Amino acid sequence: VFDVSASFLNRVVYRQPRRLLHAVNDVTFDVPMGGCLSLVGESGCGKSTVAKLVTRLYEISAGEIRFAAGKSGAPLSAQMIFQDPYASLNPRWRVKNIIAEPLRELKLRDNEADIAARVAELLDIVGLNYADGEKFPHEFSGGQRQRISIARALASEPEFLVCDEPTSALDVSVQAQILNLMRRLQDELGLTYLFISHDLSVVRHMSDRIAVMYLGRIVEEAETELLFADPQHPYTQLLLQTIPNVNDPQRDREIVAGEVPSPLSPPSGCTFHTRCPLAQPRCKAERPELEHKPDGRRVACHFA
Ligand code: SF4
Ligand code: MG
């Protein structure tokens, strides 16, 4: 849907009838143009489904997704960056052809010399060498392969990148390099990000805002530093406690108690009540709405 909203925000909205497709329900959020919104939650919470809906890899069954106009005046084009770049890079193609594919498909360059020049430029932008274009994906490390997939995503000149756990498969030090690259590209190219991760510490320095998802719903959404300083939803509070703390290693990595219930038959009322340390009888009976608060956050908890 092509929408130029007064606030010039990209608005992404889904509504799915409960019980039909189970993965996401009533998920609504704005991704500010040139900014970064992160979706965070445990696996199975529906965050990857949201990513695939936004990039049209999944069909939406009900509701709508709207994009504000991009710089060109045309609807924003979204590109996806995946967790496992190896699975999304054709192993039999040289890297230069992988990166050139969108240029050819979309006819963004009309002769081979211009295509080669653009491929060289894209390799340079992501910190790879011109000679790397002659190699095959298996000749690179995981971090370098993620650089290749970023170069390929940038080839089609997107303004909006949806990044699904782009660093989760990488070592911590390589993770930091890729995150730094993504932040630099965001600044230099004016990109807008929807960033998806199970790890709040990964998204902290990327995100303007963070939405925490649980069983297909957003349970809290707030400006990043507000969320870290003063989490209001019990699930957000527990997720923040699982972040490793250099000053108190004993406290590290305590997983939120209990299994994630099946999204096919979510608990009644507040779906978090089976794991919530603050649950009251009302929580089992009544589902809390995602309410706007005066500090600009949204939170879905009867007792927030
Ligand atoms: Fe916990 Fe109740 Fe709040 Fe749900 S509504 S998060 S169960 S206190
Ligand atoms: Mg996922």
Strands (E), the chain: 10-14, 28-31, 36-40, 63-65, 78-81, 160-164, 192-197, 209-214, 217-223, 291-292, 298-299
Q: Which residue has the higher pLDDT, 130 or 33?
A: 130
pLDDT at position 14 is 36
State the closest ligand 1 atom to the C-alpha of 302, by its place in the atom list counted from 1. Answer: 5
Across 106-118, average pLDDT: 95
pLDDT at position 77 is 72
Query: Is any ligand 1 atom within 6 A of the Cβ of residue 269?
Result: no
Report the C-alpha gap between 276 and 234 in whole angstroms: 7
Arithmetic mean of pLDDT over the chain: 84
Decide: helix, strand or coil at residue 101: helix
| Token pair in block for residue 294 | 């005066």
Query: Is any ligand 1 atom within 6 A of the Cβ of residue 279?
Result: yes
* Confidence label for 161 from pLDDT (cuts 50, 70 and 90): very high
DSSP per residue, 55-89? TTSS--SSEEE-B-B-TTSSBPPEEEE-S-HHHHS
pLDDT at position 296 is 95
pLDDT at position 78 is 80
CA-CA distances (angstroms) from residue 229 to 195, 221, 225, 246? Answer: 20, 13, 6, 17
Q: Which of 270, 280, 289, 290 to mutate to test the pocket of ligand 1 (most atoms within 8 A of CB)?
A: 270
pLDDT at position 255 is 55
Name the strands in the sheet holding 291-292, side by side, starting at the edge strand that comes first in the sequence: 78-81, 160-164, 192-197, 36-40, 209-214, 217-223, 298-299, 291-292
pLDDT at position 247 is 57
CA–centroid distance, 289 to ligand 1, in Å, is 11
Q: Which of 214, 235, 272 to mutate to test the pocket of ligand 1 (most atoms within 8 A of CB)?
A: 272
Query: Is any ligand 1 atom within 6 A of the Cβ of residue 301?
Result: yes
CA–centroid distance, 40 to ligand 1, in Å, is 18
Task: Say if residues 177 and 143 touch (Cβ distance below 8 Å).
Answer: yes
Least confident of 40-49, 66-75, 211-220, 289-298: 66-75
State the closest ligand 1 atom to the C-alpha of 304, by its place in the atom list counted from 1. Answer: 3
- CB under 5 Å of ion ligand 2: residues: 48
pLDDT at position 262 is 78
Q: Which residue has the higher pLDDT, 254 or 90?
A: 90
Task: Say if residues 81 and 149 touch (Cβ distance below 8 Å).
Answer: yes
CA–centroid distance, 303 to ligand 1, in Å, is 7
Query: Is any ligand 1 atom within 6 A of the Cβ of residue 290?
Result: no
State the closest ligand 1 atom to the C-alpha of 282, by its place in the atom list counted from 1. Answer: 2
Q: Which residue has the higher pLDDT, 223 or 85?
A: 223
pLDDT at position 18 is 42
> What's the ipTM?
0.95
* Confidence label for 260 from pLDDT (cuts 50, 70 and 90): confident
